[in-house]
Amino acid sequence: MTASDAALAGNPLLTPWTTPFGLPPFESIAPEHYRPAFDHALAEQQTQIGAIAESTEAPTFANTIEALERSGRTLKTVGGVFFNLAGSHTNDALQAIEREMAPVLAKHRNSIFMNEALYRRVAALYEKRESLGLDPEQMRVLDRYHTIFVRAGAKLGPEEKKRLAAITERLASLGTQFSQNVLADEKSYQLVLDGEADLEGLPSFLREAAAQAAEERGLKGKHVITLSRSSIEPFLQFSKHRDLREQAFKAWAARGDNGNATDNKAIIAETAALRAERAKLLGYETFADFKLSDTMAKTPDNVMKLLKDVWAPARARAQQERNDLQAQAQSIGDNIAIEPWDWRYYADQVRMARHNLDEATIKPYFQLDRIIEASFETAHRLFGLSFQELKDFPKYHPDIRAWQVMDAEGRHVGTFIGDYFARSSKRSGAWMSAFRSQERLTGDIRPIIVNVMNFAKGGAGEPSLLSFDDARTLFHEFGHGLHGLLSNVTYPLLAGTAVSTDFVELPSQLYEHWLSQPDILRRYATHYRTGEPIPEELLERLMAARNFNQGFATVEYLASAFVDLELHRRRDLSNLDASAFEAETLEKIGMPREIIMRHRTPHFTHVFSGDGYSSGYYSYLWSEVLDADAFTAFEETGDAFNRDMADKLKRFIYSAGNLRDPAEAYTAFRGRLPTADALLAKRGLVAAGADA
């Protein structure tokens, strides 16, 4: 055995895992294990692909499509561990590997999906698919593989393939750098609050979180506001110091836009130009046309119509809200014009006046542990699932938790990991991912699903308290988690959340509705000191205030969706100035001066840290049309946990992966496709004929 063989033999990423439920042996994995494991896994899949492509046997579903599906298992395992940690618990060594591997992995993918001999075998099967005797799932897998090959450039000539390969490799590097730049800006910023005067207006939960953040940064005895949403948003809501609010807000808005080494504007310009070139090589007029052709929406015009239909009433509502905030400021003697850093501060006062409801009153009833239990109880009542917490399991960070998930008969469904707290080694936001996806092709493979959040950790001996929005985020991500856990397919390509971006948000956004069910809140919204359930009158006020500030929330989201779509449907991308383009687009739609985009372009990781949501940020709204209509189906029965509806929901949505076209899947559940009416009602927006 050579030294290299010995190193591979001792590499924990490449040896069988004897851990509970096959969890990765996190404590045994060091940064130096990743590159050798990647190299081994890449070479292994290249050998497997070569054997398929060069086979002298006539192509069959088994020797071509199933063989493709079986290939690359080691690479999936290694990549599953690495990329989850690169997002949730990174360091300089992992970031260096991430930059190094991005173009390597893109090149590897190109070598598969641009392989002419391999494509010929797939195309031959696709041409005679009706005569192959395939079942519906096999037919779907063949159709999806053919689509993937064509969209990856398999039908292009040699020179076009070469150029497209260079583009995708470069885009992979740019996306990685974009994401790392945003994380660097978030990690480096801290607003130090020194003394009681700086803390004026801040409630105890925020003071405790800020003290904890300061201690983590070696500033014991002080308080620090970070650019994590769980820190900055409540600070903007409560701080009485307008100058400090402005300072923190501008830092938040300027992530990736500081004219320094982590500035992302040049990356945006190059990314947009390369995406447009890629689309043209593949026969599309714009990148938006290319990207949307394989989604439920199909065309940019369909997306634009939905955005505009909701924009008019949302903007009108936001302008009414702005007037209310201005009046509130004047009423307490603040002779100012409302600015973006003022909105949350005065909105909290207006909400208090209108609904007698403020965050400091609500938060004590929303303990993280109890809301986790509420999300599990909802899954139990809808889908018969139960959750048993694991006490002894491998961890990549001391704070993570894990549960075994079982069905109504006590059978193992999968493993769920929760990683809930903000830290400097974690990128911002909240997401679901998989260390392992469900499938039956290579055995009864059960999923390992993770939810990652950025909640503020409670002080020593204190529970972590959530805002109602935080609690909704937890339910949202657990909805994604259930989409992965309940997956019930044979082929890996179709498993779990492997659906189009404008359908993938349906299970997550739909799940949010159950948080607002009074019987869930009565049972799980309990005071962290007394254990008393949330008072009925407070619950009524909370429900009555659900659509408060909805104009603001809808406008900040829609603005981001407009900018994303307009950028990617633009034909001339030479000399793109990202900031100027953003400003022009916002002016064109009539963006209120007092609100900024939810994600400004220089830190819009959904769109620029990879292709995931590029031209696709509209997906949350598209899926919201579906989720609002889908929950109405439950309401029409008079029971939010109706057994028949829950069974259909599980069969056609949560467990079905990508077995069907999204429109077909939704129709199988609901009996018809939805309209936007339920969405406008859900958000409390009435259609406006003209802007107010």
Q: Which residues are catalytic?
A: 477
Alpha-carbon distance of 126 to 120, in angstroms, equals 10
Sign of the C-alpha dihedral computed for residues 26, 367, 424 and 257 taken in this order: positive
Contact predicate 420/472, CB 8 Å: no
Alpha-carbon distance of 351 to 347, in angstroms, equals 6
Secondary structure letter of residue 64 according to DSSP? I
Contact predicate 110/169, CB 8 Å: yes
Contact predicate 261/602, CB 8 Å: no
Alpha-carbon distance of 277 to 298, in angstroms, equals 20
Output the DSSP codes for 546-583: TTTTHHHHHHHHHHHHHHHHHHHT-S--TT--HHHHHH
Contact predicate 180/95, CB 8 Å: yes
Query: Pairing between strand 401-406 and 191-193?
Result: unpaired
Question: Could you tell me the CA-to-CA distances from 347 to 279, 596, 654, 657 in Å, in that order?
Answer: 43, 15, 37, 40
Secondary structure letter of residue 532 according to DSSP? P
Question: Could you tell me the CA-to-CA distances from 274 to 411, 489, 565, 577, 597 in Å, in that order?
Answer: 48, 35, 16, 15, 24
For residue 18, give the 3-state DSSP assignment: coil
Secondary structure letter of residue 89 according to DSSP? S
As a dihedral over the C-alpha atoms of residue 650, residue 654, residue 657, residue 663, rounded to 10 degrees, the angle is 80
Residues 6+ apart with CB under 8 A from 430: 451, 452, 453, 454, 473, 476, 477
Alpha-carbon distance of 499 to 65, in angstroms, equals 19
Question: Nearest Cα to 234, choosing from 270, 261, 209?
Answer: 209
- Partners of 436 in the β-ladder: 448
Sign of the C-alpha dihedral computed for residues 13, 18, 24 and 27 taken in this order: negative
Query: Pairing between strand 386-389 and 448-455?
Result: unpaired
Tokens of 416: 């769920």
Residues 6+ apart with CB under 8 A from 139: 129
Contact predicate 482/653, CB 8 Å: no
Which amino acid is located at 109 in the chain? R
For residue 236, give the 3-state DSSP assignment: helix
Alpha-carbon distance of 679 to 684, in angstroms, equals 8
Contact predicate 113/148, CB 8 Å: yes
Alpha-carbon distance of 104 to 98, in angstroms, equals 10
Residue with tokens 């497997």: 48
Helix (H) or strand (E) holding 586: helix 578-589
For residue 390, give the 3-state DSSP assignment: coil
